Amino acid sequence: MNLSDLANPSRFLQLANNTIPWLSGVTVLAFAFGIDQAMIAPDDYQQGATVKIMFLHVPSAWLGMLGWGVMTVAALGTLVWRHPLADVTAKAAAPIGAAFTLLCLVTGSLWGRPEWGTYWVWDARLTSELVLLLLYLGVIALWRTVDDPSRAARAAAILTLVGAIDLPIIKFSVDWWNTLHQGASVFRLGGSTIYPTILIPLFVMAGAFTLLFATLLLAAMRNEILRRRVRTLHLLQAGAAS
Amino acid sequence: METTAHIDFIAASYASAVIIIGALIAWVSLDYRAQRRTLADLELQGFTRGSGTAPTNRTSDHAKEAAKEQA
């Protein structure tokens, strides 16, 4: 099977039906292993046990940004290549990315209170992450506002491409501005500043979150294809009734 | 620092993850069931993809599966 085969929604449904149960099982196993590793990881020498919040906060931040990245590629697929599944992918990814971004903000606030003494501060990293959540909500609202899926797809694709500007701002905000949020500590020149006993569980949890994202994305895409079939049949039904 | 320090913030973080991810999984699962049920109902009425405007007597895989589940 190659990429062009996936352009056929029926083939994609077949692939999704075959893949989702296996992917779900692997995701559960990955989370079981990841949470076990996170719980036995030692406390941080400065932050103590609150470092365990990092195992949720950092992967959800990455997945929130990955979600918009997927939507950006899908937006190009809609506007440039007109791939049949591009707008399906974009629409399906939006609520999933929004949920991970929300989780990032919630866990970040809960981590910030004991470490910084505040749940929230309007620094560049936190604000740009909040902007990402608002962008997600805007795209979801746009999809719901326009009835015709192809028109909604084009409008959402343009908003997605504009919103992609926020991704490098989130990433480099801690370098460009003076922020309360710490600087990059995982992916940085000179290597990670995190000790392996904490870094390895973090990567395991990030892997589990990524598997969850992939499973949910496939499932949501399958739902969207079925929703479009329902819409087509409702139109047929309305035509037959009139 | 002891592991129990700030345990309430740690517990609240993991609880929020369970709630948000649980809600996401529930939404995707319930949406799938709802779409399949609606599709099966329409197909049982004879409206199938490629059937044009007139209801047909053809029964699709979705409708057959739904009938089996109901039986």
- Other CB atoms within 10 A of residue A153 CB: 24
Q: What is the ipTM of this complex?
A: 0.91
- Other CB atoms within 10 A of residue A80 CB: 10
Q: Which two tokens stand for residue A153?
A: 């797809």
Q: Is the dihedral of CA A215, A217, A222, A223 positive or negative?
A: positive
Residue A186 and residue B21: Cα distance in Å, rounded? 24
Residue A184 and residue A159: Cα distance in Å, rounded? 28
Residue A10 falls inside a structural domain: no
- Other CB atoms within 10 A of residue A195 CB: 12
Q: Does B41 touch chain A (CB under 8 A)?
A: no
Residue A89 falls inside a structural domain: yes
What percent of chain B has a predicted confidence (pLDDT) above 90?
Answer: 48
pLDDT band at B58 (very low <50, low <70, confident <90, very high): very low
Residue A18 falls inside a structural domain: no
Contact A55, A202 (CB under 8 A): yes
Residue A237 above 90 pLDDT? no
pLDDT band at A20 (very low <50, low <70, confident <90, very high): very high
Q: By C-alpha distance, which of A93, A86, A29, A65 is closest to A165?
A: A65
Q: At what angle do helices A54-76 and A86-116 cross, to 10 degrees?
A: 150
Residue A33 falls inside a structural domain: yes
B/e letters for A94-124, b = 16+ CB within 10 Å, e = fewer, are bbbbbbbbbbbbbbbbbbbbbbeeeeeeebb
* Residue numbers in A near B42 (CB within 8 A): 230, 233-234, 237
Q: At what angle do helices A54-76 and A166-176 cross, to 10 degrees?
A: 140
Q: Is the dihedral of CA A197, A199, A200, A205 positive or negative?
A: positive
Residue A97 falls inside a structural domain: yes
Helix, strand, coil % in chain B, rounded to nearest 5: 70, 0, 30
Q: Does B55 touch chain A (CB under 8 A)?
A: yes
Residue B19 above 80 pLDDT? yes
pLDDT band at B54 (very low <50, low <70, confident <90, very high): very low
* Residue numbers in B near A219 (CB within 8 A): 28-29, 32
The answer to whether the Cβ–Cβ distance between A239 and B23 falls below 8 Å is no
Using DSSP, state whether A157 is helix, strand or coil.
Answer: helix
Residue B71 above 80 pLDDT? no
- Interface contacts A/B by beta carbons within 8 Å: 104
Residue A230 and residue A238: Cα distance in Å, rounded? 12
Residue A136 and residue A181: Cα distance in Å, rounded? 22
Residue A85 and residue B3: Cα distance in Å, rounded? 48
| Total-model pTM | 0.89
Residue A137 falls inside a structural domain: yes
- The 10s digit of each residue's pLDDT in B21-53 is 999 999 999 999 999 999 999 888 887 766 554
Residue A227: φ, ψ to 5°: -60, -35
Helices (H), chain A: 9-40, 54-76, 86-116, 124-145, 149-163, 166-176, 196-241
Q: Does B1 touch chain A (CB under 8 A)?
A: yes
pLDDT band at A148 (very low <50, low <70, confident <90, very high): confident
Q: Which two tokens stand for residue B6?
A: 């700030």
- The 10s digit of each residue's pLDDT in A28-74 is 999 999 999 999 988 888 888 899 999 999 999 999 999 999 999 99
Residue A86 above 70 pLDDT? yes
Total of domains in chain A: 1
Residue A212 and residue A222: Cα distance in Å, rounded? 15
- The 10s digit of each residue's pLDDT in A169-228 is 999 999 898 888 887 777 776 777 778 888 999 999 999 999 999 999 999 999 999 999
Q: Which domain holds residue A88?
A: 27-234
